[in-house]
Amino acid sequence: MSLQDITARMKAEEARTGRPTDTTKLIAVSKVQPDERVRAVLEEGHRIFGENKVQEAQGKWPAFKEEFEGVELHLLGPLQTNKTKQAMELFDVIHSLDRMKLANKLAALSAELGHCPDLFIQINTGEEEQKAGILPSEADQLIADCRALKLPVIGLMCIPPAEEEPSLHFALLAKIAKRNRLDGLSMGMSGDFETAIAQGATHIRVGSAIFGERDYG
């Protein structure tokens, strides 16, 4: 796989499902990948990247941002409240807003910093205990409360349970977004991004299919 293979498959799926070309954003998930692989994708001209951890991103992205113009960085992993300010300073978009404590912190810091990243609210569509995200039954309230704080919520994000059919989760996410009049849908990874595009994904998050397997050793 490569960046070009993925963008070709994206275009094919957009065409097959009657969506305008290039309306899906590809977030290249560079967590844990060695710098030379990330650099290669930057040199191919890609500029939209995703990371899971604030600290890891702080270690590699300030230098890349200086070297390559127009980088857009997305935070995909859970965000601890005490790292909110650092996250807001580095990331353009945060996909893991899932609780009021974090919403209040983002709102307070927005006033102080004078800007706020675009936000996705993460929904725990599989209601998995170990997974981040708000429960589907509590999503409408959280969305309303975040809007009341004037936070720039642009959509919803989910990570389906590994062993389940992802399309059921993508459909649930799309349904919650629609009834709340939200346009953004952050869903689909290396194994299921075509399914996600068919179900209306606006942002897909693809790691290993672009960069190769992650080596956690």
- Give dist(CA 26, CA 22) in Å, integer: 9
Q: Compute the C-alpha angle 143/144/148, nearest 5°.
A: 115
Q: Is 100 helix (H, G, I), strand (E, B) or coil?
A: helix
Region of 61-69, 98-106, 133-141, 206-214 interacting with ligand PLP (CB under 6 A):
206-214
DSSP-derived letter for residue 81 is G
Asked whether position 94 contacts ligand PLP by CB under 6 A, the answer is no
Binding to ligand PLP by residue 205, rule CB under 6 A?
A: yes
Tokens representing residue 57 in the block = 């991103």
166 or 200: whose CB is closer to ligand PLP? 166
Residue of minimal Cβ distance to ligand PLP: 207
Size of the site for ligand PLP (CB under 6 A): 13
The two structure tokens encoding residue 157 = 């994000």
Which stretch in 34-42, 132-140, 141-149, 207-215 sits in contact with ligand PLP by CB under 6 A?
207-215
One residue of 167, 180, 190, 195 binding ligand PLP per CB under 6 A: 190
Can you read off the two tokens belonging to residue 173? 């996410």
Question: Which residues 6+ apart lie within 8 Å of 178 measured at CB?
Answer: none
Q: Does 143 bind ligand PLP (CB under 6 A)?
A: no
> Residues of 15-38 as b/e, b for ≥16 C-beta within 10 angstroms?
eeeebeeeebbbbbbbbbbeeeeb
Q: Map residues 13-42 to x or -, x wherever contact with ligand PLP holds by CB under 6 A.
A: ----------------x-x-----------
Q: Is 76 in the site for ligand PLP (CB under 6 A)?
A: yes
104 vs 195, which CB is nearer to ligand PLP?
Answer: 195
C-alpha span between 61 and 67 (Å, rounded)? 10
Pairing of strands 118-122, 72-75: unpaired
- Residue selected from 159, 172, 185, 196 as contacting ligand PLP according to rule CB under 6 A: 159
- Shortest distance (Å) from residue 150 CB to ligand PLP: 26
- 80 in Cβ contact with 106 (< 8 Å): no
Of 77 and 200, nearer to ligand PLP (C-beta) is 77
**What is the binding site for ligand PLP (CB under 6 A)?**
29, 31, 52, 76-77, 159, 189-190, 205-209
